[in-house]
Each structure stands twice: as C-alpha cells, then as structure tokens.
Chains A and B, each alone.
Chain A
Amino acid sequence: MSNLTATNQQILDFQAQLEAQDTSFPMLSVLNNDGQIVDEEALKRADLSDEDLVNIIKRMLLSRQLDIRSTKLAKQGRFGFFAPTAGQEASQMASSYAFNDDDWLMPGYRDIPEIVVKGWPIWKAILWSRGHALGNEFTTEDGKPVNAWIPQIIIGAQYVEAAGIALGLKKRNKDAVAYAYTGDGGTSQGDFYEGMNFAGAYKANAVFFAQNNGYAISTPRSLQTAATHLAAKGWAAGLPSIVVDGNDPIAVYLAAKEARAWATSGKGPVFIETLTDRLEPHSTAGDDPLRYRTQADIDAWWQKEPLIRMRKFMTEKGIWSEEQESSYIDEVNALIDEQIKIADKVDKQKISNFIKHTLEVPGQAMTEQISKFESEGK
C-alpha cells in the first residue's frame, strides 16, 4: 500500500468512500421541532409572507382532516382504498405549495392531498377511492384541466412519465415543471432511476421527491438499500440531490421552491429526499403497524409531526390561533360533508362506457359488446 500514489490509495479506500457518502447529505432544517427558527437567513430565503404561512398550515390541516375523515369513512365501509397521510403534511403540502397550476403533478397513491389542492374536487377523490370513473376526470369544479395524473399504483411509473412531461415542457419552452412523488420503497424500483436518469440526460424540467416515511407497507427503509441516504441515488443520475427535514414545512417549501427555480432555468432536474414518518397504517385495508414496529417508535414520531411545530411557530408569530384553527377545521369538515353528498349521488357506471373508453375506435367484437350492453341498459 505504501507504494501507491496518494490518489490511488484514496481510490482503493472503500471504507473512506462509504464514510464520505454518510457525510455528503446533511439535512436541510429551518424550523425545529420546538417551533424555533434555526436559520433566520433560510427563512428569509423561503420568502414566505404571513399569508403564505397561513395558506400552508391550512393545507396541512386540510390534509390531516381528509386523513381523519377518510379513515373513519373507510371503517364504516363508505370509502374505498385509502392510504393514510398523517405525519406527512409538511412533506406533501409544503412541497406542493412551491408549484403552480401550470406545473404537472405526478402522484403516488398516497398523494391525494396534493392533487386536491391542485383543484381536483374532493368528491372526485372520494369516487377515485371508491372505484368510480367520474372521479378520474381531472378537471376542476368549473371545468378547467388539472395538470395531474391519476394516483399511480405501479410504484415508480410516475417517475418515468414525469421525465416525459418534463421533456415536453422543455421542448415547448414552458415556464413549468413536472413534479413527482414516491416513497422510500419506490426508490428501489428501476423506474425510479430511469425517470431521474432520462430527465437528467435531457436536462428536463423536473423535480423528484422521495418521501422517506420509514416503511414500504411493513418493510423498513433500512432493508430497501445499502445507501445511507436515498439522496445518493439522485446523485448517481447526476442530479443535485438533497435531504430535507420532511416534518419541517419551511425547509420542505424552501427546497421545493429552489428546485423548481433550478429546473425551470434549464439546468435540469433536482431530487429531494424528505425525512418523515407514516404515523398510521399503510392503508385502511387491514394493515397493522404493530406487526413490524413498536408503539414507542410511533409515539416518538407523533411528537415530531409537522403540525405541532408549525402551530407553535405561527402562534408565536401572532398569525395563528386555536380559534382560527378550530373554525377552519369546521369549515373543512362542512366541505367534506358536502363533497361526500355529491359523491353519493353519481349515476351507476355503464359497462358500455368502459368499452367505449378503452379504444377511441373500437374493434368489431367491442362494437358488438357495446350494442349488447346498451340494449340491456348497462
């Protein structure tokens, strides 16, 4: 070893390389768990007005309320599939606050709240969950297109599709990005890498999020990969890749905002790992987290959930109060009640429409089936 050049010695020091990986991804943090600002300059750089802060906490509360109500409805059998979001409000709602209507959202199945704040009516989200096609028409209440995709079920597919949207936006010279979400489990999929790699190779307008919430159903983050930071995977594709405190709404917003600015300036995509926790089961379909994690661990994460610190910070700042919060929650609950009523009233789906929507120009056997089902009123 002593005869090697310093460079060669360094190259062959595998242990040092692993340690360098460990220290290459410090966590972006602005608002700590006690609601204290740990970096005043970062707060200034986030450039959030009081109104923005109120909007963000409202979106987080909307998400929490949707989570609570959806879980209850699922238990009563009045909802279909629902993937709980509690604990991820900063990761989901503060990140998506950095994007606008022209940007394209590519969600995973847990990213319902991000689509809702983009204009997808809650009654449609309920229908999507229940399994009704009308929910899948991505338009706002007044008929404007919602630039988002139906929540992706195949983990990772939203990443390769986001690369395509991002390339299209760049080719059309749009001041917009595609932003995609997956989880820590999603980072193990081939599509996760292919999407970032394609977008990177074309320097396309994309921002990729991996919400590291600790578990893919029951499999812990530690079993997904030997990489100590998921952000390292973005680096492999040549993307600026960062780790953010996923329970810190201001840090998450700042990261997303800067990533969007970078991606729209022609410099290519950015990858953001948000460190958070899924405080609840994987889905409402019978998952029991106590089979794979301890109550103490769950309780500890509940102490770090993002609403606690955001409330403290904003109350201290004099721009939020218990009264405001309870009146906003009442407002949200009234809205959800009204939206459930709309969802309950939609017409039964028709098999003939399913066939019509499968191909724009149906084949002969399909045409025969359309006539048959129509004649039966189906």
Chain B
Amino acid sequence: MAVKSYIDAIREAMDLALKKDNDVVIFGEDVGENGGVFRATDGLQAKYGEERVFNTPLAESGIGGLAIGLTTQNYRPIMEIQFFGFVFEVMDSIAGQMARNRFRFNGTRQMPIVVRSPYGGGTKTPEMHADNLEGMVAQIPGIRVVMPANPADAKGLLMSSIESNDPVVFLENLHLYRSLKGEVPEGYYTTPLDTAAVAREGEDVSIISYGGGVPVALKAADALAKNGVSAEVLDLRTVSPLDIKSIGDTVTKTGRVVIVQEAQRMAGIGANVMGEISERFILSLKAPIGRVAAPDSVYPFGQAENDWMIKPDDVVAKVMEVVNYD
C-alpha cells in the first residue's frame, strides 16, 4: 500500500468513479481546468473531458439545482461547494429539495448526489471558510453526512457515497488535505457508510470523535498512553445517521466517555452521541460524559484560531477528569 495524502485519496476516488461509471459527473466552481481551489479534481477534466468534469457559474443554489435536475437524466452528480461555509446559499437545494425528494415521490425517485465540501479550521482562512456546520446538516432527515478522518477512509467512503442512491454531504477537512498522510489501498474499494471504526483500541476510556477531531483525539491518546491511560478512539465516520451499535460497544467496554468535536459545544454531533449514550447505555457509565468542543462563539478571526480551536491537551485534561472520577 502506498502512503498518500488525504486529498490525493479523494481525487483517486473520483478518478476511479469517473472511470467505472459513465453517469458520474463532477461540477462546481473552478473544478475544471483549474482542478478546484485545493486541486481535489486536478487533471480530471483533462482525463475525462468537459462533458464529465465542468465548471459552473458562481452560484451555489444553482449548483444544487443542477445536481437535482441531472438525476432525472440518470446522472450521478458529484457537486462541489467550494467551502462549506457557503452552504447557506444552497441550503434549500440540500435540505429543502434533495433530502426530501425520495420521500416526496413516495420512494419512487432517487437522489444519488454527493455534495463534496471542505470545512474546518487551522489554515487562517477568511471568514465563512472554516466553520464546522455538520450539526446543521446532520439534523436533516433524508440526507447522510459523512466525514472521513484519514486518507484510506476518505477514498473508500467517497466511493460508497458515489454508489449510494441517497444524497450524501461529504465533508472533507481542509486542514488535513495535505497535512495528513496514510496508507491507502490500491484500486476501487468501498468503505461501508453508517459504520464507525475503532481508530485505536484502549481499555480505560472511550474518546468518540469524527472528522478533524479524530487526529486530535489520536494525539491525545498517544500522550495519555505515556501517563498510563489506555484510551480507545472511536471514529464515527458517518455522523448522520449514527452507528449506535459501535458507540455502545466502546461505551460498555470502558464505561468512561469523552466526546471530542471541532465544532462549537452547542453545534456539531456531540450532543446527539451523548443523547444516544444517555438513553441506551447510561448504566454502563462509571463517570459523567466529558465533552471537548470549541467555545460557543462565532468562528474566530484568523489570528485567534490557535487559541480557539480544540487541542490534544484539552482532550488529555478532560480524559484525566473523567478517568479520575469516582
């Protein structure tokens, strides 16, 4: 297996999907010749032509409508929203239309659309480029929200998302695009949706996270190991709908839980995970559930990002609190 970056894995998934299925089309702002502002689609237009990979005018709602319309002609659209902070402009297409169409048509029509979009802080972007808005879309019935945390999953989960007949919001952590590398299996493979993965096994405490929170959790687990605390890290991978079984497995194994998310405490997925644990597994808990999340302010100005974002030390401190609870 070759070691690849997170973004190379994503590009490879799209390349293989375009090759495998002629109905797959990719479009968005600057995804053509320019290969996207992060080069996620670099070279794909040259390889598959303008009929398959093409630029759109600069209007997110138009991009969403385009995707929905193209499904009627049996296309499987992969639409890119250049930054997930721009999602507000396309919320009707996502929440009001594509998430509801299967239901609306009484199950007689499908919406095989993937909405790819980068999110997450750490790169000092202008405003509305880095917010973690997954909680907002995860509350919409009829749409799946997938957030890979490593290159191998990014490739396999994107393949599965493209194959899915349900619409998928596929969120890519832009800080990890180039900073995170990992082994990626060759060729076409799919990684199951709605299935969490144990990113690190442990005995004393379960750290449950997703997307950009997972590398933070893994670093914390390394530090904790040095202090003699064995932390299990569960990577949710699909944040809506949740893999409740895997959450239950780790909670009942360790009896202690810390939920880690990059999103503000009032946003994100953490509260949903806590809700499931409280409803189903509360008697397995030996301590109250700990949470590590960003402060409940609007996403900060670039220069304050490092102070605002969650860090491995925050996770270590919260885990020690939960582990030492009697």
Which A residues contact B (CB, under 8 angstroms)? 104, 133-134, 136-139, 147, 150, 154, 157, 159-169, 171-172, 174, 178, 190-191, 194-195, 197-198, 201, 353-354, 356-366
Contact B72 A157 (CB under 8 A): no
Contact A364 B105 (CB under 8 A): no
Chain A residues whose CB sits within 8 angstroms of the CB of B141 once the complex forms? 358
Interface residues as binary, B150-164 with A (CB distance below 8 Å gives 1, 0 otherwise)? 000000000000001
What distance in Å separates the Cβ of B77 from its nearest Cβ neighbour in chain A? 8
Q: In the complex, what distance in Å separates the CA atom of A361 from the CA atom of B241?
A: 10
Contact B194 A363 (CB under 8 A): yes
Chain A residues whose CB sits within 8 angstroms of the CB of B165 once the complex forms? 360
11 contacts between A and B (CB under 8 A): A138-B108, A164-B65, A197-B62, A198-B56, A198-B59, A198-B65, A198-B66, A359-B241, A361-B166, A363-B240, A364-B243
From the candidates A136, A174, A362, name the one contacting B106 in the complex (CB within 8 A).
Answer: A136
From the candidates A157, A198, A356, A361, name the one contacting B93 in the complex (CB within 8 A).
Answer: A157
What distance in Å separates the Cβ of A355 from its nearest Cβ neighbour in chain B? 9
Does B35 sit at the interface, judged by CB under 8 A? no
From the candidates A160, A169, A359, A364, name the one contacting B61 in the complex (CB within 8 A).
Answer: A160
Contact B92 A157 (CB under 8 A): yes
Contact A154 B108 (CB under 8 A): no
Contact A197 B69 (CB under 8 A): no
Does B284 sit at the interface, judged by CB under 8 A? no
Contact B59 A161 (CB under 8 A): no
Interface residues as binary, B200-244 with A (CB distance below 8 Å gives 1, 0 otherwise)? 000000000000000000000000000000000000000011111
Does B19 sit at the interface, judged by CB under 8 A? no
What distance in Å separates the Cβ of A157 from its nearest Cβ neighbour in chain B? 6
Task: Knowing A154-B96, A159-B65, A160-B64 are in contact, say whether A357-B244 is a contact too (CB < 8 A).
Answer: no
Among residues of A, the one whose C-beta sits closest to the C-beta of B59 is A194
Residue among B57, B72, B105, B164 with max Cβ neighbours from chain A (10 Å): B72
Task: Knowing A160-B62, A198-B57 are in contact, say whether A167-B108 is a contact too (CB < 8 A).
Answer: no
From the candidates A133, A160, A171, A360, name the one contacting B65 in the complex (CB within 8 A).
Answer: A160
Chain A residues whose CB sits within 8 angstroms of the CB of B61 once the complex forms? 160, 190-191, 194
Task: Knowing A154-B96, A201-B57, A364-B245 are in contact, say whether A357-B69 is a contact too (CB < 8 A).
Answer: no
From the candidates A150, A161, A172, A174, name the one contacting B104 in the complex (CB within 8 A).
Answer: A150
Tally A-B pairs: CB < 8 A: 138
Chain A residues whose CB sits within 8 angstroms of the CB of B242 once the complex forms? 363-365
Chain B residues whose CB sits within 8 angstroms of the CB of A354 once the complex forms? 103
B43-68: which residues lie under 8 A (CB-CB) from chain A?
51, 56-57, 59, 61-62, 64-68
Contact A357 B72 (CB under 8 A): no
Chain A residues whose CB sits within 8 angstroms of the CB of B64 once the complex forms? 160
Contact A197 B57 (CB under 8 A): yes
Chain B residues whose CB sits within 8 angstroms of the CB of A166 once the complex forms? 69
What distance in Å separates the Cβ of A28 from its nearest Cβ neighbour in chain B? 28
Does B142 sit at the interface, judged by CB under 8 A? yes
What distance in Å separates the Cβ of B80 from its nearest Cβ neighbour in chain A? 15
Q: In the complex, what distance in Å separates the CA atom of A81 from the CA atom of B246?
A: 45
From the candidates A104, A133, A163, A168, name the one contacting B62 in the complex (CB within 8 A).
Answer: A163
Contact A194 B65 (CB under 8 A): yes
Closest A-B pairs by Cβ, 9 of them: A164-B69, A363-B241, A160-B65, A168-B73, A194-B62, A357-B107, A165-B69, A164-B66, A133-B106
